[in-house]
Structure 1
């Protein structure tokens, strides 16, 4: 048999995973979209996060139940969700 060099395995998990940056959670990305001055439509959120509309509405509902003031503006052609700045945050 031939001797093959063996790769040195490290027991430190931080050294094994340090090459890849940690992605932001999608809920954090949702908050960022909703804090924009104009807010975001369901279609805009869908394109950014790749979620289905019912998932978007459920995530917004969870934000509301955790105390984040999210308003729904239906004054335009499409509905927009927006986090109200300064209220209860």
Structure 2
């Protein structure tokens, strides 16, 4: 049975069978950006973490390795990455 959608999903409710990053870490910050309804572009993720582009991409690969399903879509000329909270439950 599907849960009713909330405006801001709780990280613990959305992702249950994966290894979560340490709270308050940069990887946790990246994960929270990806869980936003609109996702996040590379520039947003770089600004939030202070990382270079290759580090952001490698960290998304690490999250995929932990079991997170990260998708991407084009928003004009910008690629946006996201975790679809509705499908993760």
Q: One fold, TM greater than 0.5?
A: yes
Any gaps of 5 or more consecutive residues in structure 1? 1-22
Residue-pair matches, total: 67
Per chain length, whose mean CA-contact separation is higher, i.e. which structure has more relative contact order (CA < 8 Å, sep 6+)?
2
* Structure 1 vs Structure 2 CA RMSD: 1.6
Which protein shows a greater Rg? Answer: 1
In the alignment, does 2:34 pair up with 1:37?
no
**Which structure shows the bigger proportion of residues in helix conformation?**
2
Other structure's SS at 2:77 match: coil
User: Whole-Å Cα distance in 2 between the matches of residues 55 and 85 of structure 1?
Assistant: 24
User: Whole-Å Cα distance in 1 between the matches of residues 56 and 43 of structure 2?
Assistant: 10
Any gaps of 5 or more consecutive residues in structure 2? 1-22
Deviation, structure 1 residue 60 = 0.4
- Return structure 1 stretches of 4+ with deviation > 2 angstroms: 86-89
Give TM-score, length-normalised by structure 1.
Answer: 0.68
